[in-house]
Amino acid sequence: MRAQYLQMMGETGVANLEEIILELKERLSGHDEAIRGHQAGMEQIKDALHNLKGHVGVVRYNAFGERGNDLSFSLAIVSKEQDGVVFTGLYGREETFVYAKPLQGGASPYPLTPEEREAINLALQRK
């Protein structure tokens, strides 16, 4: 048995198996702490990504009926919780107007046009 023990320990430079086991236990404890830290960091990243306003929807349309082209637009940039902003550009031959409306929970303190609602819905469908 002693011969097998010496063969196993070989040239490790450690004369006691108990020392090796204790060292391995300490290393494992350190790895467990690191893993918990990484898991907490990943949860923070997951929460941050969840709240990004990265969903985009665009609707182009002719704001003035038969005159002109589909140069007017509504652009929604929203998070999964429907927080964000809607930009609307109304193109006319002489003038162009751009409006921005904040969104919180899919609603705005300003009235939303059907095109703006459509842009919000398009943005939420893209994942």
Whole-number pLDDT of residue 114: 95
Q: Select from 96, 98, 99 the least CA-distant residue to 64.
A: 96
Q: pLDDT value at position 99?
A: 95
pLDDT (tens digit per residue) in 51-97: 676 889 999 998 877 666 888 999 999 988 889 999 999 988 788 89
3-state percent breakdown (helix, strand, coil) of the chain, nearest 5: 45, 25, 30
% pLDDT > 90, the chain: 39
Residues paired with residue 90 on neighbouring β-strands, in sequence order: 97
**CA–CA distance, 92 with 72 (Å, rounded to integer):** 8
Q: How far apart are CA 76 and CA 102, in angstroms?
A: 10
Going by the DSSP 8-state scheme, the letter that residue 108 receives in this structure is -
Domain boundaries, the chain: 2-50, 55-125
Q: How far apart are CA 105 and CA 114, in angstroms?
A: 17
- Average pLDDT of span 35-63: 86
Amino acid at position 119, single letter = A
pTM for the predicted model, two decimal places: 0.61
pLDDT confidence band for 46 (50 / 70 / 90):
confident
With 90 as the cut, is the pLDDT of residue 39 above it? yes
For residue 89, the surrounding DSSP H or E stretch is: strand 84-91
